[in-house]
Structure 1
């Protein structure tokens, strides 16, 4: 029911299409026959027409077809304007690439800082456990076992950090959703989560190798004398 008129719904939009603010069609929009609109609104003028191409590649040809149709139906010198989303999409794509590059740079710096932090923690751990390492090597623990032990500890630290970071990243879109415009979402793919986790763990292993190697190369006699 719209005002005093009753309508029968014969279909709904399959999905909302992002138009970067260029379309007035929203969730609450109702599409009615043009003849009914003329009688209901008391005018036969049309201010805006929307056309959707089947594929992005068809946009240029559709734009030319629409332009030809309007030219054939209007007198010479009539004022009308035809716009498509190609320029807007190109600008959005360029902005997306720039933002991705900045985020990649920030992420790389963050990974390096995190890796250095893990390395410092592991170096302190090796120093504090020097006598323990000496005792283990004195009773026959091979260098490889000591190396693997500290690498696993570095892996655990980095995996815990990665898990916490992923949890925060998943929580941000959920918290921001009530404040976003209708139809705007922040997608996070499962692949990006897996890649982020693996990269974080690999960073921990790489930066944890130096402390682990130093622990494995300690001499038992010197380690046992360490105070």
Structure 2
């Protein structure tokens, strides 16, 4: 029999039992749609991460101190001396105090408080909406001023300008000096400009009795000087700590690759789980095909008695299983594309990016699942003896 005739016969069987066919395809549909949706979300996340890092520039270096004790403490004034070097243009040390109680009038919420200097906002490519940011004089005179992120300002003051108002941070009164324009997450340090309150670093250390500087941001004048700046800060920390461990120095490219790799790893794990649905769908196809062979035993006997060969019966049932899984793959592909396109409407912060190759591979995988799991029922049907098949009621 010709291939097109076999496909036509398989389609007639599928159409003749629409509900059973749909339930059989369900595992394949779920598997393919899950893979397509998860990959589109993963690729959208990776693209968003790359855009955010590009927005921060390519000359940024992040220093994280992991060691404990006096041997691994950084001094603010010593760090700022490095700014005189030609390969280092800007330095912004930070101290982060998470979940601080911030109160104004009758409103009290928990937000992150960041102690830093005047360079932080420019390094993070943020802008002031009203008032001003931290100035060198604020650090010199330990002024108790605070700059609010857009979300924090809206929470306490709505659309009013909070500049000049007093807020209470963990029992210490600070005067609002400015508000930052809405920016989004600061992926380099895990701190959002919108959801944080910024105070002078020296003031934060004294007011909240915080420890030493743990994270420092540096910027090289040009991308060509980035490696030199990274080597300089690494050499400085190695000399200061008397060890090359206890700290981590990374540039933007390294940070971006690490974040993308972590996102891809998680996405691959989710895809692996989704592929299990395809395998379950294949088992469902095999079970239904075994039932089909039992129901059509007499038909098989008649076909064999009038000259159908074993390979004809094998191909007939194999093509039928493949058609079922292939149709499930197409439906799953359409459903996955629809979910991927609709996802940003339900979650505007999450981008999606459809991939033609992933869709094609998912469809081909679903077809392969049908062929593999349809092989046993088809082989069983092809081995039936005509005389035994004709005796079946």
* TM-score strictly above 0.5: yes
In 2, the alpha carbon distance for the partners of 1:191 and 1:21 equals: 26
**How many equivalent residue pairs?**
174
Partner of 1:189: 355
Q: Is the 8 A contact 1:122 1:211 kept in 2?
A: yes
Instruction: Map 1:33-112 onto structure 2 (within 5 A).
Output: 47-49=121-123, 60-61=226-227, 64=230, 84-86=251-253, 88-112=255-279
Q: Helix, strand or coil: the match of 2:307?
A: coil
Shift of 1:214: 0.5
Within the alignment, does 1:19 sit opposite 2:57 as a pair? Answer: no
In 2, the alpha carbon distance for the partners of 1:189 and 1:132 equals: 44
In 1, the alpha carbon distance for the partners of 2:225 and 2:379 equals: 60
Partner of 2:332: 165
Provide Cα deviations, 1:25-73, integer angstroms capped at 9, x if missing partner. xxxxxxxxxxxxxxxxxxxx76414579998xx69438559x8xxxxxx
In 1, the alpha carbon distance for the partners of 2:289 and 2:54 equals: 52
CA RMSD of aligned residues (A): 3.4
Shift of 1:84: 4.7
Q: Is the 8 A contact 1:154 1:204 kept in 2?
A: yes
Shift of 1:168: 1.2
Q: Is the 8 A contact 2:285 2:325 kept in 1?
A: yes
Higher helix residue share:
1
In 2, the alpha carbon distance for the partners of 1:119 and 1:223 equals: 20
Q: Is the 8 A contact 1:162 1:200 kept in 2?
A: yes
Q: Is the 8 A contact 2:324 2:370 kept in 1?
A: yes
Partner of 2:70: none
TM-score, normalised on structure 1?
Answer: 0.65
Partner of 1:128: 295
With 204-213 and 90-99 compared, the bigger mean Cα shift is at: 90-99
Partner of 2:374: 208
Shift of 1:22: 7.0
How has the CA–CA distance of structure 1 residues 60 and 126 changed in structure 2, closer, same or farther, with 3 Å as cutoff?
A: farther
Higher strand residue share:
2
Q: Helix, strand or coil: the match of 1:141?
A: coil
